Chains A and B, each alone.
Chain A
Amino acid sequence: MSMTAKAMARTTVFGVCAALIWVAFLWGAAASASAAPLAVKEIAPGVFVHQGRYETFTPRNAGDTSNAGFIIGRDGVAVIDTGGSPRVGARLLEAIRARTQLPIKYVINTHMHPDHVFGNVAFLGEHPVFVGHYKLPRALAARAEHYLTVNKGLLGDAAFKGTRIIPPTLLVKDKMDLDLGDRTLVLEARKTAHTDNDLTVFDKKTRTLFLGDILFSKHIPALDGSIRGWLALLDQLKSRTDVARVVPGHGPPSMAWPEALEPERRYLAKVADDVRKLIKQGRTMSEATKVAGLSEKDAWVLFKEYHARNVSAAFAELEWE
C-alpha cells in the first residue's frame, strides 16, 4: 500500500470515528434536554423505587445505573439514594413532585459510590438534611477527586455537568430513627461489608428494608469493603423476621425476603472459598483473578467488569487470615 493510500485509509477511519462521536454527542444533548420524571414503582403504600439499568456509567445512560427511592410520610419525604448524576437526581425530584408537594426532609445515602450520591446536588434547592453513615464523609473526602475526574470521563460532559459531592451532615453512628409524621424510618450503620460506610433504611410502617448495595441482584456484587464482613452481615440479616420485602441497590425494585439474599451469598461464598484455596496453595493475586469464582460467570450481568476486581479485593483481605 502506498503512503497516500494508507493516509487515506486512516483518514476514513478517523472520519467514521468522528461521525460516531458526533452521533453520541447529539444523543447526549437530546437526553439532557428533557427533564422527564424517572419511572418509579410504588412497591408498598407510600414507598416508591426507581430501577436503574444494569450498566456502568456511559453518556447514554447518564448515570441511571442504580436504584433510587423515596418514602412519603404525613409531614414530608425521605429520599433514599439519588442516582448517578445531577440529571438523574433532577428526574427523581420530578418523580417525587408528580406525587406530592410535601417538603423533602431527608436525603439519605446508603454508601459512598458515585451511582448513589452524584444526584444529591439536584436536591440542594429543597434544603433537606443529608444523612449517612458516620464514616461516609471521610470515605467521600478520600475519593472525591478521583470520583469526579474518572466519572466525568465515563459520563461525558453533558451528564456530568454540575456534579458536586454533597456529604451528609446528619451522621448515623449506630441506629437512628427518622420521623416523617405517621411513619418512622430506622437507619442502621453497618460494619464494613460492601463498603465501610453501608447504611440500611427500614420503613416500619410497610416493613420495607432498603439495603443499598449490601444487596445486588442480577448485577454482579462489587466488593469495596470486606468479603468476610459482607458474608457475616448477610447471615445476620437473613434471620430477621420483621421484613416484608427488600429493595436492592441494583436489581428489581422489590424482592421477597429472605430468599433475595441467596444468589449474592452464594457468589461471595464461592469467591471466598476459591481465593482461600489459592492462597493456601501459594498462588498470587494475579493468578487468582484468572481462576477464582469462574463458575459464577453466567449468573451475573457485568461479570467481566467487576469480577476480577472482587477477587483482588478478597485476596488482599483473606491472605491475612
Chain B
Amino acid sequence: MQVSALSQKPLFALVAVAVMTLASAAARADDPWPDIHRDVFDNRPILENDGTITLQAPYRAEDAAIVPLTMRIPARVAKDVKSLTLVIDKNPAPVAATFHFGDAAGAGERMLTTRVRINTYSNVRAVIETADGKLHMATKFVKASGGCSAPVGKDVDEALADLGKMKIRTFEGTAAQTPGMREAQVMIHHPNFTGMQMDQITREYTPAQFVQELKVKRGGELIFSMDGGISISENPSFRFTYAPGSDETLEVWAKDTDGNVFKATSAGKAS
C-alpha cells in the first residue's frame, strides 16, 4: 500500500477521535452507578473523598476471586458511623455487603478488611452513613486481570468440607492509629456459591448458597453485623478493629442462605 504518511495521519486521527467519542458515550450508557445510587441510596447526596472514609484496593486485581479491600475511618468520624455499604458497580449483585457497627467497635480509628469477587473492570465503592444522616464515599477503580483469573473458588469440594468451620485470630499490634484499640480476624469456611455456576453433568445451576448474616461481638456487645451477598469471596474473611472491654471474648454468629447457623467464640470452641 503506497499512501503517504502525511495523508494518513489526519484520517487516523479523525477515526480515532470518532471512536473515542463513541466509546465514552457507550461508557456513560454502560455506567451502572446512577441506577445503584437511586436504588440503594435513594439518590441522596453523597460527599466524595472528603476524608471521612478511605478505601484501599489493588488497581489490578491479582486474583479476581479474592480481591482484598481495606476501609479506614478516622477516629473523629468513626464514633458517628452507623453503617458501611460496599458496592462493586459491575458485579451481578452490586451491593457486596452492608456493615452496621455497634458500641464495641469503639471510638478510635476504625479499620475493616474483607475479600471480594470482582467480575470485570469496575469501580468499587465504600459508602458510610454518619449519625447526622449524611453519606460519604470513597471510590477505587479495580481491573480484573489475567485470562485464567475467574471470580470463582479454586476447589469447590474443599470449600464444602467442614462447612461453617471458623477461625478467630487476634493480633498483638494493631493497624489503627488510636492506642488501645484491638484487632482481630474472623474466617468462615464456606464456598459462598454465587448461584450462577452450571453443573454440566446434571445441567442444573448450583443454587446460590452464601453467608447472609454475620454478627461479631466482644463480651456480649456488638462490634459489627453484616448483611452479605455473593460478592464476598469463598471462605469469607473479615479483619477489623474494636474497643477493649472487661470481657475480651469474641463471639461470632453466622447464618447462610440455607438456614445453616454457625457459631464460634475466641475460646476456640465452634458449634
**A associates with B:** yes
Q: Which residues of A contact B (CB under 8 A)?
A: 11-12, 14-15, 17-19, 22, 56-57, 113-115, 135, 137-138, 140-143, 145-147, 149-151, 154, 167, 192, 195-196, 222, 224-226, 282, 284-286, 289, 305-306, 308-309, 311-313, 316-317, 319-320
Instruction: Specify the chain B residue showing the minimal Cβ separation from A167.
Output: B200
**Listed A/B pairs (12) with beta-carbon separation below 8 Å:** A18-B15, A19-B9, A22-B12, A57-B147, A135-B156, A138-B200, A142-B150, A226-B158, A284-B239, A308-B62, A309-B149, A312-B66
Instruction: Specify the chain B residue showing the minimal Cβ separation from A155.
Output: B147
Bound Cα distance from A192 to B161, whole angstroms: 14
Residues of A close to B157: CB separation below 8 A: 135, 196
The 9 A-B pairs of least Cβ separation, nearest first, read: A18-B16, A14-B16, A15-B13, A137-B200, A142-B197, A18-B12, A309-B62, A143-B150, A146-B150
Asked whether, in the complex, the Cβ of A56 is within 8 Å of the Cβ of B146, the reply is yes
Instruction: Specify the chain A residue showing the minimal Cβ separation from B174.
Output: A282
Asked whether, in the complex, the Cβ of B12 is within 8 Å of the Cβ of A142, the reply is no
Q: How far is the CB of A319 from chain B (nearest CB, A)?
A: 7
Bound Cα distance from A252 to B169, whole angstroms: 45
Q: Which residues of B contact A (CB under 8 A)?
A: 8-10, 12-13, 15-17, 19-20, 56, 58, 62-64, 66, 68, 70, 113, 115, 119-120, 144, 146-152, 154-158, 167, 169, 171-173, 187, 189, 196-201, 233, 235, 237, 239
Q: How far is the CB of A10 from chain B (nearest CB, A)?
A: 9
Bound Cα distance from A286 to B68, whole angstroms: 7
Q: How far is the CB of B68 from chain A (nearest CB, A)?
A: 5
Asked whether, in the complex, the Cβ of A15 is within 8 Å of the Cβ of B12, the reply is yes
Residues of A close to B151: CB separation below 8 A: 146
Bound Cα distance from A253 to B156, whole angstroms: 32
Bound Cα distance from A259 to B178, whole angstroms: 53
Residues of B close to A195: CB separation below 8 A: 154
Asked whether, in the complex, the Cβ of A320 is within 8 Å of the Cβ of B147, the reply is no
Residues of B close to A137: CB separation below 8 A: 199-201
Asked whether, in the complex, the Cβ of B155 is within 8 Å of the Cβ of A15, the reply is no
Given A14-B12, A138-B199, A196-B154, 6 more contacts at CB 8 Å? Answer: A11-B17, A14-B17, A57-B147, A195-B154, A289-B58, A312-B62
Q: How far is the CB of A25 from chain B (nearest CB, A)?
A: 12
Bound Cα distance from A36 to B66, whole angstroms: 40
Asked whether, in the complex, the Cβ of B144 is within 8 Å of the Cβ of A11, the reply is no
Residues of B close to A285: CB separation below 8 A: 66, 68, 115
Q: How far is the CB of B242 from chain A (nearest CB, A)?
A: 15
Asked whether, in the complex, the Cβ of B120 is within 8 Å of the Cβ of A149, the reply is yes
Asked whether, in the complex, the Cβ of A15 is within 8 Å of the Cβ of B9, the reply is yes
Residues of A close to B197: CB separation below 8 A: 138, 141-142
A-B contact count (CB 8 A): 134
Residues of B close to A138: CB separation below 8 A: 156, 197, 199-201
Q: How far is the CB of A180 from chain B (nearest CB, A)?
A: 27
Q: How far is the CB of B187 from chain A (nearest CB, A)?
A: 7
Residues of A close to B156: CB separation below 8 A: 135, 138, 142, 196
Asked whether, in the complex, the Cβ of B119 is within 8 Å of the Cβ of A141, the reply is no
Residues of B close to A149: CB separation below 8 A: 120
Residues of A close to B237: CB separation below 8 A: 316, 319
Residues of A close to B201: CB separation below 8 A: 137-138
Asked whether, in the complex, the Cβ of A56 is within 8 Å of the Cβ of B189, the reply is no
Neighbour of A320 across the interface among B9, B20, B189, CB < 8 A: B189
Q: How far is the CB of A186 from chain B (nearest CB, A)?
A: 24
Neighbour of A140 across the interface among B147, B187, B200, CB < 8 A: B200
Asked whether, in the complex, the Cβ of B20 is within 8 Å of the Cβ of A14, the reply is yes
Bound Cα distance from A145 to B152, whole angstroms: 11
Asked whether, in the complex, the Cβ of A14 is within 8 Å of the Cβ of B13, the reply is yes
Bound Cα distance from A137 to B203, whole angstroms: 11
Neighbour of B56 across the interface among A18, A113, A286, A306, CB < 8 A: A286
Asked whether, in the complex, the Cβ of B187 is within 8 Å of the Cβ of A284, the reply is no
Q: How far is the CB of B254 from chain A (nearest CB, A)?
A: 16
Instruction: Specify the chain A residue showing the minimal Cβ separation from B152.
Output: A142
Q: How far is the CB of B161 from chain A (nearest CB, A)?
A: 11
Q: How far is the CB of B151 from chain A (nearest CB, A)?
A: 7
A135, A309, A319 interface centre (most CB from chain B within 10 Å): A309
Residues of A close to B239: CB separation below 8 A: 284
Bound Cα distance from A11 to B18, whole angstroms: 11
Asked whether, in the complex, the Cβ of B146 is within 8 Å of the Cβ of A18, the reply is no
Residues of A close to B235: CB separation below 8 A: 316, 320
Query: With A142-B152, A224-B148, A225-B155 known to touch, is A19 a contact of B199 (CB < 8 Å)?
Result: no
Neighbour of B13 across the interface among A11, A113, A145, A192, CB < 8 A: A11
Instruction: Specify the chain A residue showing the minimal Cβ separation from B148.
Output: A113
Q: How far is the CB of A110 from chain B (nearest CB, A)?
A: 14
Instruction: Specify the chain A residue showing the minimal Cβ separation from B235.
Output: A316
Residues of A close to B10: CB separation below 8 A: 15
Bound Cα distance from A313 to B115, whole angstroms: 12
Residues of A close to B167: CB separation below 8 A: 319-320
Bound Cα distance from A56 to B200, whole angstroms: 28
Asked whether, in the complex, the Cβ of A282 is within 8 Å of the Cβ of B173, the reply is yes
Bound Cα distance from A138 to B206, whole angstroms: 10
Bound Cα distance from A224 to B62, whole angstroms: 12
Bound Cα distance from A1 to B187, whole angstroms: 55
